Structure 1
Amino acid sequence: MRLIYLSPVPWASFSQRPHKFVEWFHRRTGRQVIWIEPYPTRFPKPSDLKRAEMNSQQARVSVPQWLKILTPRAFPIEPLPGSGWLNRGLWAPLISEIKDQFGTQEPLIVVGKPSVLALKVLQAFKPKHSIYDAMDDFPAFYTGVSRVAMANRERQLVQAVEKVWVSSTALKSRWSQEKASVCFVPNALDDALLLPPRNASEERARKVLGYVGTVGAWFDWDWIRTLAKLRSGDIIRIIGPVFSPAPFELPSNIELLPPCAHDIALAAMCEFDVGLIPFKRNELTVSVDPIKYYEYRALGLPVVSTDFGEMKFREEAAGTFISKSLGDIGKLIVTAAKYRDTCESSMNFINDNTWDARFEGADIEL
């Protein structure tokens, strides 16, 4: 089987789960992949311009020979009833091109985000094998009519595919009620990009407590401000694009640094004494399994995280310290800063949590 992958993110973006999956599929099978770029599945917002700019700055410049990228054209009206009918003329050439590429070959169709186009492609090919890889609670990121439309599309998609993969316990609980074939496939890490685990033998009087990633509506600025005041002699370093700025003046020991390429971000993590994941506990984060957790731990960093999403199940995990209130931050940071990994434990963590290990253990027909 060849793969048709309907991606939730552009190919020219920070390498994520979709990129890792298609790369694994090709290594595993040697077969070609058709990658269908995302298109607007809600009404446009002004913040989309900033996100597009961030994606272009972090773009992957190379396209391997085994990958063919198709970009669907669409009017940004998908939340409206009948949008599929209005866009079908724009999508017909794309579906015809895929059929020409495949001929009589049986496709494997994997969908990374609910959309009307995904449903149209499934309907056009009627594949024996298909997967919806649920990586987020997508409706939670939408509002109004767009939210209702996305929830409806997602339910239709779950019923249309053969199997559902889920990246978190919350998503597993949700979709197991509606689908018999649900496979838990947590996020993972790219071991090829990792630097050697940090050497924490040298004590620094001034610690660096750091976060790398997007600062969005889910980012807990109150938690960060409390941490900065408790650890006024340390540096709180935040690296990444800021879409939701702090609603108050920040303490002077908080550093805000711009986003950077993935390899540079990993090198920056090696300068941390403790890795932070300060997310709010709400509808946006209940289904999240943060990739930065795997990267922090693979680099030998202790992690202090709030108790959101998949992190709340890691209270007993080595080197992982879960904050349940503003009152426990100080104690947890002291304990985390003293934590030391062995080289053996770091390597075991890496081997158990690579993308290859995840996908090899998943329920998939090749």
Structure 2
Amino acid sequence: MQQLVYLSPLPWASFAQRPHKFVEWFHAATGGRVLWIDPYATRLPALRDLRRPPVNASGAQVRSPEWVTVAGVRALPIEPMPGGTIVNRLAWRAVAERVAAFCAAEETLLVVGKPSALAFDLLEHAGAARSVYDSMDDFPAFYTGVSRAALARVEERIAAGVVRLLVSSTALRARWQTLRPDARVVYNGLDPAVLPAPDVAKLTRLGDGQTKIIGYLGTMGPWFDWAWLIALAKQRPNDRIRLIGPVFSQPPAALPGNVQMLPPVPHAEALKAMREFDIGLIPFIRNQLTDGVDPIKYYEYRAMGLPVISTSFGEMTLRGNEPATFLIDAHDRLGSGVDAALRCPASDDGIAAFREANSWTARFNAAGVLE
């Protein structure tokens, strides 16, 4: 493939995540140009939309290299309604024509990172040489009612029509097993180039009896297990529980005094903040939304040498035997779980090996999308 069209689930002007890392990998592997299509609303509006901050409110990535062209999509938030796609086809005609012209110029790989009617139309008519759907989440689970049903239908049509289906977790592979038994698991990963050096000397003193910082980095949404977090804070009153990130789901009760909540910061600063952690937390509830999740923060924590305490959800349910990884759902075991985690010192060699084995480059090289 000489060039790439990428229909992203998130804007280019956001923290660099799996979609950004894919296009960087593609360009490094092929030298090809990339046409990045920012997402548009594929569900009906909801009141919670009014509370969302701007995508670049936390120092998000906004610059693009010369080999990336970013295009937006004009569309109304009416796609799930009868006739909504027909109306939006008139609005997105310009971007559809642009993609078709791009595909006609050279051999093109078209990757769908978010299911939508536009994505299906482009698969049918843009003339790409090869196509991929990268199923990173159970996307319909984010929606309700008519919006969920509409997205599920279009997602199934996309999954059936692409040449290669990638999934980011074992549960997502099981979800597509009947329709696409050839689905290939490509787990999430990390970018060693943006990670700061870990404080290995600090991590070798985890069990010294001093106050520890038990940290969480990321969004606190409806999937965040506040009851679990509160139980942990109460069982470790002499340690500090530090939460860094935006809060979209408020705690149900007052938090213990040793819980420190910090606002979101640019990703580079957030990674540096992890150097102060002694343990990394992933307290997610288990539901349809989280069953298919392979949390990137797991890789980032371990790549910084941190032991991890997590609830058993999604891909984490399969990591109970991984080094320095503790799955704890019972609230009364959290305190002893911290003690066990603090007996897991890090090493430079172990961190280097983990970073190399779980890099985005290693992930996408094994995906087979350029074969």
Q: Give distance in 2, aligned partners of 1:94 and 1:208.
A: 48
Q: Does 2:186 correspond to 1:181?
A: no
Query: Do 1:12 and 1:56's aligned partners in 2 also have CA atoms closer than 8 Å?
Result: no
Asked if structure 2 preserves the Cα contact closer than 8 Å seen for 1:12 and 1:58, the reply is: no
Verify the 8 A CA contact 1:107 1:129 in the aligned structure 2: yes
CA–CA distance in 2 between the matches of 1:101 and 1:127? 9
Identify the residue that residue 149 of structure 2 maps to in structure 1.
Answer: 148
Partner residue of 2:331 out of 311, 320, 326: 326
With 193-202 and 98-107 compared, the bigger mean Cα shift is at 98-107
Q: CA deviation at 1:82?
A: 2.0
Structure 2: unaligned runs, 5 residues or longer = none
Q: What residue number does 1:236 align with?
A: 241
Q: Give, in angstroms, the shift of residue 48 of structure 1.
A: 2.4
* Deviating more after overlay: 133-142 vs 88-97: 88-97
What is the rounded CA distance, in whole Å, between the counterparts of 1:94 and 1:44 in structure 2? 23
- 1:336 match: 341
Q: Which residue of 2 aligns with 1:294?
A: 299
How far 1:63 moved relative to its partner?
Answer: 1.1
Q: TM-score, normalised by structure 1?
A: 0.97
How many percent of aligned residue pairs carry the same amino acid?
49
Distance (Å, rounded) in 1 between the aligned partners of 2:55 and 2:104:
38
Residue 72 of structure 2 aligns with which residue?
71
Q: Which moved more, 1:294-303 or 1:57-66?
A: 57-66
Q: Which deviations, in whole Å up to 9, do the C-alpha atoms of 1:82-134 show, x marking residues without a partner?
A: 22211111111112122333434232110001100000111112434111000
Distance 1:197 1:57, change over 3 A: closer
Q: 2:356 aligns with which of 332, 336, 351?
A: 351
Q: Which runs of structure 2 are paired with 1:46-61 in the superposition (5 Å)?
A: 46-61=47-62
CA positional deviation for 1:281:
1.1
CA 1:260 to 1:171, structure 2 compared with 1: closer, same or farther past 3 Å? same
1:316 maps to amino acid: N
C-alpha distance in 2, partners of 1:213/1:102?
Answer: 37
- SS of the equivalent of 1:338 reads coil
- Give 2:270's aligned residue: 265
What TM-score, normalized by structure 2, do the two folds share? 0.96
Amino acid at match of 1:201: T
- Which contiguous aligned blocks of 4+ residues in structure 1 show a shift greater than 6 angstroms? none
Q: CA separation in 2, counterparts of 1:157 and 1:236?
A: 43
Equivalent in the alignment of 1:95: 96
1:119 is matched with 120
- In the TM superposition, residue 54 of structure 1 has moved relative to its aligned partner by 4.6
2:172 aligned residue: 171
User: Structure 1 stretches of 5 or more lacking a match?
Assistant: none
**More displaced 10-residue stretch of structure 1: 144-153 or 123-132:** 123-132
Higher alpha-carbon deviation: 55-64 or 338-347: 55-64
